[in-house]
Structure 1
Amino acid sequence: MTGGGPAAASQAYGEAWYWDERYRKEAGPFDWYQKYPALAPLLRLYLAPHQRLLLVGCGNSVFGENMIDDGYQDVVNIDISSVVIEQMKKKYHDKPQLKCMVFVLEYLCSISHII
């Protein structure tokens, strides 16, 4: 990461290079606000298992993995960091219901719900 302290880092949150560098250095899953088990009851009310779902800014979160384990059949993780997406593709190569992609705007047209 570049110098400049917390303010400089937060200004770079929208930049792919910042996240690529961060994911090269930091291992292990991280969920920002809530873990899936805390949100699962609410999500089950509104999201059907057969719908195509998009997790925006997935990072290295296990949220999508937890959704697949809970019966969802088509979950797409996207992130601006190609580094973390490659890590996620390797990790979930055996879960075809969980796709991991570098963010592509045109892909949004085929999504039922965005989480």
Structure 2
Amino acid sequence: MTGAASQAYGEAWYWDERYRKESGPFDWYQKYPALAPLLRLYVRPHQRLLLVGCGNSVFGENMVQDGYQDVVNIDISSVVIEQMKKKYHDKPQLKYTKMDVRNMSDFESGSFDAVIDKVRPKFTRACSEDARGGEQNPQR
């Protein structure tokens, strides 16, 4: 990763361009099967979940296959959100919304029982110039 690329991680245009070029799902760091045993300890299938920075990952799909019923996915890229809405149009358990995690005011406080974010701390450091503007705590 170049310094210029990592500094663009906080920009929607970077991700829109990336998702226009890349095909196929990608999971950062860990895939669902590796994390499922831990998640099952703390998150019940009936609880409402938020997946932050979902990208084109199959993490949410895997959760639904595992019995989870209400998985809300957000990402800064309108391109990937539209791709995922189209791909999973037949899965009402999966919802996709374009949203920047640094401004989650569209969700009322207490909207979710659990928030899953595998990569945000790394990207927050990479995007620290953007984050100085006042990042909201994603406890929605």
Superimposed CA distance per residue, residues 54-93 of structure 1 (whole angstroms, 9 cap, x where no aligned partner):
0000000000000000000000110000000000000000
1:88-110 CA-to-partner distances (Å, cap 9, x unmatched) read 000000000000xxxxxxxxxxx
TM-score, normalising length: structure 1: 0.80
> How many percent identity over aligned positions?
94
SS in 2 for 1:54: strand
Count how many residue pairs are aligned between Structure 1 and Structure 2: 93
User: What SS class does the counterpart of residue 53 from structure 1 fall into?
Assistant: strand
C-alpha distance in structure 2 between counterparts of 1:42 and 1:10, whole Å: 29
Which of residues 7, 22, 25 is equivalent to 1:11?
Answer: 7
**Would you say 1:44 and 2:32 are equivalent positions?**
no
Structure 1 runs of 4+ off > 4 angstroms? Answer: none
Structure 1: gaps of 5 or more residues: 1-6, 100-115
Query: Which one of the candidate residues 55, 71, 92 is aligned to 2:51?
Result: 55
**Distance apart, 1:11 and its partner CA:** 0.3
Between the aligned partners of 1:10 and 1:92, the Cα distance in structure 2 is: 29
Provide structure 2 residue ranges, at least 5 long, that are not aligned to the other structure. 96-140
SS at match of 1:55: strand
Q: How many angstroms does 1:13 deviate by?
A: 0.2
